[in-house]
C-alpha cells in the first residue's frame, strides 16, 4: 500500500449500531486526523492525533471516539450511530502536525445512517 | 466566530484564466492552504502561503494578504481536468485547519 487507505469505502448502517471506520497510513507520519464533509459545509475536524498514544478533540467530536495505539492506524468509532452522522468521512495524515505540513487524505468512507 | 468565505460556484472557459477568492476571519493565522477536490475523490494539496505575496507553481498561483484576510487562487490556461472544487483552509491559533465550503469550478469548452 502507498499513502492512506480507508475501509470500508461505503456503508449503510442502522441507527443505534456501533461502527468503526478504519484508517491506515504507510508514510510514518506522526499526525493523523479525522474529518467529516457534508454538502455545503467545509471539512470539519472530528478528532486528531499528533503522535502515537495521544489524541485530541476537534470541532465536532460528540458521538465519536478514536484511538492511536501505533503510528500507522487511527480508527474512528461511532458508538451508537444517529442519522445526523450520515456524511463522507476522510482520514488524513501529516508529517509532524505543524502549521506548514501538508495534510494527505485517504479516499474517504461514505456512511449512511438510517 | 471563525469564518472562511468562498464563492459557491464559478464557470470559466477552457484556455482562459480564473481567479477564486477566499476571505477569512479566524482566531489567529498560521498559514493558508488551497486544495483541489474532484467529485467523489479526496482533497489534494495545491499550495501553501504563510507570508504576503504571490506563490507561483506552474499554471496555478496563490496570493495572500494577511492584513486584508484575503487570498486568491489563480488558474491559467484552464483545462477540462481543472473542473473540480477548490478548498481554502486556514491554520488558526489552535493549530487546527479551518476549511471553507469550497468553490465548484465548471470548465466549459
Print the SS3 string covering B10-34: EEEECCCCEEEEEEEECCCCCCEEE
Residue B56's SS3 state is strand
Q: Give the pLDDT of chain B (109 residues) as one tens digit per residue.
A: 688 999 999 999 999 999 999 999 988 899 999 999 999 999 999 999 999 999 999 999 999 999 999 999 999 999 999 999 999 999 988 878 999 999 999 999 9
% helix, strand, coil for chain B, step of 5: 5, 55, 40
Cell of A98: 505543524
Whether A100 has a pLDDT exceeding 90, the answer reads no
Given the C-alpha cell 478548498, which residue does it identify? B87
Integer Cα distance of A7 and B102 in angstroms: 25
Chain B residues touching residue A41 (CB < 8 angstroms): 101
Q: What pLDDT is attached to residue A97?
A: 84
Whether A60 has a pLDDT exceeding 90, the answer reads yes
Asked if the Cβ–Cβ distance from B96 to A97 is below 8 Å, we say no
Integer Cα distance of A7 and A23 in angstroms: 7
CA distances from B103 to A23, A84, B24, B46, B100 (A): 27, 24, 14, 14, 9
Identity of the residue in A58, A90, A98 whose CB atom sits nearest the CB atom of B42: A90
Residue A85's SS3 state is helix
- Å between A108 CA and nearest CA of chain B: 7
Amino acid at each position: 500500500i502507498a499513502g492512506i487507505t480507508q475501509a470500508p469505502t461505503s456503508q449503510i448502517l442502522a441507527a443505534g449500531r456501533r461502527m468503526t471506520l478504519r484508517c491506515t497510513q504507510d508514510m510514518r507520519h506522526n499526525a493523523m486526523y479525522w474529518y467529516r464533509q457534508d454538502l455545503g459545509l467545509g471539512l470539519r475536524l472530528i478528532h486528531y492525533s499528533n503522535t502515537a498514544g495521544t489524541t485530541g478533540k476537534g470541532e465536532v467530536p460528540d458521538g465519536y471516539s478514536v484511538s492511536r495505539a501505533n503510528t500507522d492506524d487511527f480508527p474512528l468509532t461511532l458508538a451508537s450511530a444517529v442519522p445526523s452522522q450520515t456524511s463522507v468521512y476522510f482520514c488524513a495524515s501529516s508529517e509532524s502536525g505543524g502549521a506548514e505540513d501538508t495534510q494527505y487524505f485517504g479516499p474517504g468512507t461514505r456512511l449512511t445512517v438510517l | 466566530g471563525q469564518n472562511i468565505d468562498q464563492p459557491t460556484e464559478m464557470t470559466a472557459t477552457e484556455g482562459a484564466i480564473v481567479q477564486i477568492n477566499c476571505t477569512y476571519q479566524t482566531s489567529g493565522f498560521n498559514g493558508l492552504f488551497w486544495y483541489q477536490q474532484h467529485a467523489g475523490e479526496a482533497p489534494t494539496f495545491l499550495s501553501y502561503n504563510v507570508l504576503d505575496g504571490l506563490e507561483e507553481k506552474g499554471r496555478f498561483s496563490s496570493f495572500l494578504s494577511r492584513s486584508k484576510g484575503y487570498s486568491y487562487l489563480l488558474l491559467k490556461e484552464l483545462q477540462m481536468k481543472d473542473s473540480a472544487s477548490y478548498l481554502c483552509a486556514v491554520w488558526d491559533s489552535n493549530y487546527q485547519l479551518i476549511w471553507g465550503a469550497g468553490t465548484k469550478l465548471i470548465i466549459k469548452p
